[in-house]
Amino acid sequence: MGRIKVTVVGAGNVGGSIAQRLVERDWYDVVLVDIVEGLPEGKALDLAEAGPVCGYRPEVIGTTHYEATEGSSIIVVTSGIARKPGMSRDELLETNAKIVASVVRETTQRSPDAVVIVVSNPLDAMAYVAYRVSRFSRSRVLGMAGILDSARFRTFIAQHLSVSVEDVHTMVLGGHGDSMVPLVRYTTIAGRPIREWMSEEDIAGLVKRTRDGGAEIVNLLKTGSAFYAPAASAVEMVEAITRDQKRIVPCSVLCEGEYGFHGLFMGVPVKLGSQGLEEIIEYELSPQERTALDVSGQAVRELCKHVDHLLSKL
């Protein structure tokens, strides 16, 4: 069986880290694309030169052109300006919508059978841009957010309790932003509900830290945003699809009636397999969780209205 071709658009910290994680699996050929002359070529060459040391043999191409992306099975979009301290995800909308629309147009016409994974922010709105521009079915346009948000929540819980993250299981739904909805009722440590482990006050503090997780790293780095965990989360999605793993993970997908949402990209639990989105898994929500998810959905809907206006002018 031949290697699977994955295109990663955006050779910054996130895109470069995704490319590194992919080639180290020795399963993928990677095309790294960026508009900055020399950046993708340099990172691709650096990754190739690590191959003899790390024991991998994939082809790694760095380019400022899209011709080399033809025939990709997966397209990962990380392009866009990074969030700066004090900048909300919403403020990124207009600039990044234009960038993502251009990237998706260029890549999908060369790889019409690919699955698109969007990492650019504001995440849910950018996934909607990709869906609108690509004209792909909803199964083949996904946003990476919930895996990252859930990983952050798991990390904070494990640190608080001094337990292994492998024994912490949770699911974070909703838009990727301040209104995300960690499902506390479904959060367990070694099978026991989180409320048997800690107080409501401690749980609320960890939920808040999860919602502020991206901003916390931005404020610490001062000149950039998170990239190791976002890259790992995107690669987990790539693996679930290319290896047909049937993983149930939270991703931003187009809801058509699920959870009461219509025509809206939202973070929900989905089964990922060779066709991309294979099924949306519906959890029974409490009235409080339902209300929180509706609030999150309304925030995403406002962004998507703005996206519709922007796309009408492109």
Name the residues annotated as catalytic.
Answer: 176
Torsion of CA 198, 199, 203, 209, to 10 degrees: -100
Classified as helix, coil or strand, 114 is coil
Cβ–Cβ < 8 Å for 280, 253 = yes
Cβ-count burial 87-107 (b if 16+ within 10 Å, e if not): eebbebbeebbbbbbebbebb
Torsion of CA 254, 132, 181, 190, to 10 degrees: 60
- Distinct helix (H) and strand (E) counts, the chain: 9, 14
Given CA atoms 122, 123, 125, 126 in this order, what sign does their dihedral have? positive
The whole-angstrom distance between residue 290's C-alpha and the CA centroid of its chain comes to 23
Q: How many beta carbons lie within 10 A of that of residue 120, not counting itself?
A: 28
The Cα 192–Cα 256 span in angstroms is 33
Query: What are the φ and ψ backbone dihedral angles of 72, each rounded to 5 degrees?
Result: -75, 145
Torsion of CA 260, 263, 265, 269, to 10 degrees: 40
